[in-house]
Chain A
Amino acid sequence: MVEATMNYDEAISKFDPVLGLEVHVELGTNTKMFCGCSTVFGAPPNTQVCPVCLGLPGALPALNKIGVESAIRIGLALNCEIAEWCRFARKNYFYPDMPKNFQTSQYDEPIAFEGYLDVEIDTDEGRKTFRVPIERAHMEEDTGKNSHVGGATGRIHGADYSLVDYNRAGIPLIEIVTKPITGTGKYAPEVAKAYVAALRDILRGLGVSDVKMEQGSLRCDVNLSLRETPESKLGTRSETKNVNSLRSVERAVRYEVSRHAARLAAGDTVVQETRHWHEDTGISTSGRAKSDAEDYRYFPEPDLLPIAPSREWVEELRAALPENPAVRRARLVADWGLSEIDMNTVVNSGALDLIVEAVDAGVDPAAARKWWTGELSRIANDRGIELEELPVTPAHLKRLEELISAGSLNDKLARQALEGVIVGEGDIDEIVKARGLAVVSDDGPLLAAIDEALAADPAVAETIKSGKLAAAGSVVGAVMKATRGQADAARVRELLFEKLGVSE
């Protein structure tokens, strides 16, 4: 059922939104949280399972230390305190995707707590920083995946039958929960999106997850409530599940603000419930009612020992953290002399790390940026692959730039050389040699080609002489064509003007 909504601007003029974001991150560990099964995505159903992650009678969990280490690193990167002592807990509820009918999670003793993440967004008053308070980051295991076959909704109710794939069961998850985010006003959708984007960049920088929202390795639940004024007490919240793209995070917040506002303005109450986000239609629909009385009967997991990370270990991990992506971005903008808009282009193209690598290898930042956001992005796009998958190394770009500045390659020839790299013809020098790529800088053949071009179009010489220098373009073009692109266009132009006695 589609519910009534209020125009967003009107809604925000009447109410103050309060956000809460819960993000689940699948860690990129080789093995699951409590057993040795592989975590590789996309294997045939139920092939990456064992007695432990299937919850067979008698099986016991054994803790993945890398999972704990990743959780601590995430906590540190989010400015959290790291618990000196914490435990796992069992979250008890019956659902067929959960092998043990309890999830091994953390309850009142999370490994990381009390942090924050600063995010920047564009506002009417320019760029502004919002501090998102983080309540906790805790460890847990993922569930299996149900597929409901038959029925109209793809949900369990009304399905003919259901299949369960337990490959995902037991994959380590970190759940990162914010405190209520207040003070965003009309920017709530942008803050939500910027937070998830910043979190994604941090997690990618830590190398703890592949953070692919479309594959579910980063999943976001959006909690939202409205209140009349920032001084009013918190309103009833809705929890919109599985908002699985950055764009959807923004849209879901916007939609829920409009929906809550319509209800409240009409004198209705907001129902505390779980809602499902529909990426295609851009609306949410009601899921199960979620009352505060929902009882998971949490208690400390007796099959696992408490975790007490030593302060030395925590400090070691802190010292080894990579630079915060936002700080790094600001540094690169300054170092490379870019505008914010140029930097956005770079970041959105997904080429930032590749450009940094090339620059570190000695390539001029402007040139590295030009290649990765231009020609190479086009090629990757045409082939439907990621930039990282192209076989182009910083060394290739470095050699290419050397040849260009030495004048032995021009832009067009350089592109041909890169094409050679991509199809696997060897290194730049081998390709240049094999393909015979070299700028023709000997004036003799160029003059001959100019004569030929002028002879083919007798009127053009007079046109140029009369001062219409732009007409030179057609002659240069003809010469380039005749030399199959290997001429130095600037030299051709010089020679032409010399010959016609014209000066620029």
Chain B
Amino acid sequence: MFHKFEAGTPAIAEGIGLGAAVDYLLNVGLDRIHQHEQAIIAYALERLEEVPGVTVLGPKAERKGGVAAFTLAGVHPHDIAQILDTDGIAVRAGHHCAMPLHDRFQIPATARASFYLYNTTEEVDKLINGLYKVKELFG
């Protein structure tokens, strides 16, 4: 009966893809992924806070996932992102679909680095070096 309300082809490929993704993650182990994410975000926040002029927003590492939103004094996040991009480091810049929150903190935008199971601490170091480059350029 319900078939008559189904327009077009169902998302068969997507369903199979989702199954494969779930298998992959369960195979790695959700606990291990969570541990890795916690370890890398803790390291990233620690390194970010070392950089003069950087302000990290949001809760401490143990209370969040692998995302680090930050500002760098005197440099707009779009400029940060653009310069990091030339070193192959992809961060998001802007409101991240949370404009009222940025208004609340009275900041025009933030830069945001995201980490997951495929990221390494070496990549965090690369991000930090990139931020020093940004500072040098805008110093």
A and B held together in a complex: no
Binding site for B on A (CB under 8 A): none
